[in-house]
Chain A
């Protein structure tokens, strides 16, 4: 999953740096993730993983690092699978 998230970050994050050079806990805003790009990334994650971010996750903290994104997506995928 982390690899998929890195791919989406590379295509939607608009980062001036190579995503491969970023550690899982690197600060993505510090690396250049803009507000607009984080929204594009959020929508791409929803399409790819067939999830919907609830309001409580629609904030900067959720998208602050690859790890925090992975945690959120993992939680939402688990919820979807449990509901299926």
Chain B
């Protein structure tokens, strides 16, 4: 099973996704958005009982927060920064000349204070830190955001702009480890209800460079990241649709988040790749949602 391009073409041909001419940047149809909304609601049905605080950020974050987060240490290749024209009339004339001549016009673009959100939880940690010491029961948040990663690909499951739903837990190591264990179990049940084949495996983030090789090995050795994988583009390289991440004290230390007893807070998150799950559903159940298995339709549409 290897059908990277053909799956994408099938999604285009059936009017589920629309090409923009850029790999990984697609328009979405009403049908696609409906599947996303139904899956998003299913996640809430599983996680709602935990009474997480709902927070929504736009798909961009404060550049100072981004810089402090350490993202550039680990993933400089994936980051997307927002630049704008910062010149005067003379500069504008130069820009238009370059544009007309088909030359590089971006020389006068300067970094703004805005960076595209790389993962839904990145804007959250400074908010938690600003609120002061955590309560004894810790904190739990429900997030969803478009995220940007600069990794153009013809695999439809690897988009440059995509939505990530997350639950984020902050607290003592015991609290966050228990949260992750709960979601490892729930995540499997949830995907089982959608009648998708899957397995859960230890994983690593795409850390950059040689230093990144060591970060990857460390992350795997310590079992800090697990992924729920569904074969979509191929069975050899299945797609991570959910991920379960234990950050230890990385964000707690970075942002000075403290537990009620004064220790550095630990954090963990479960992330749902909404487009990835939707594409997995189209891949396994067909492009016509009316003909999906009735049990799956019932789970999503009631």
Contacts and interface: CB of A to CB of B under 8 A. Distances in A.
A59 to B, nearest CB: 4
The 7 closest A-B pairs by CB, nearest first: A58-B214, A59-B217, A39-B211, A35-B218, A58-B213, A60-B221, A39-B214
A38 B214 contact: yes
B213 A38 contact: no
A42 B221 contact: no
B191 to A, nearest CB: 30
Interface of B: 70, 73, 210-211, 213-215, 217-219, 221-222, 250, 253
A53 B214 CA distance: 10
A36 B73 contact: yes
A74 B212 CA distance: 23
Given A36-B215, A38-B218, A60-B222, 4 more contacts: A35-B218, A35-B250, A39-B214, A59-B217
B210 A59 contact: no
Contacts of A60: 217-218, 221-222
Interface in A21-60: 34-36, 38-39, 42-43, 53, 55, 58-60
Contacts of A36: 70, 73, 215, 250
Given A39-B211, A39-B215, A43-B211, A59 B221 contact: yes
Interface of B is mostly: helix
Contacts of A53: 214
5 contacts: A38-B214, A42-B211, A43-B211, A55-B213, A59-B214
Interface of A: 34-36, 38-39, 42-43, 53, 55, 58-60
Contacts of B217: 58-60
Contacts of A42: 211, 214
Contacts of B219: 35
B211 A59 contact: no
A76 to B, nearest CB: 14
A35 B224 CA distance: 12
A36 B211 CA distance: 9
Nearest to B253: A34
A55 to B, nearest CB: 6
A39 B74 CA distance: 11
Contacts of B213: 55, 58
A36 B207 CA distance: 11
Contacts of B70: 36
Nearest to B221: A60
Nearest to A63: B214
A55 B210 CA distance: 9
Contacts of A34: 250, 253
Nearest to A39: B211
A67 to B, nearest CB: 19
A8 B128 CA distance: 34
A53 B212 CA distance: 13
A35 B215 contact: yes
A58 B221 contact: no
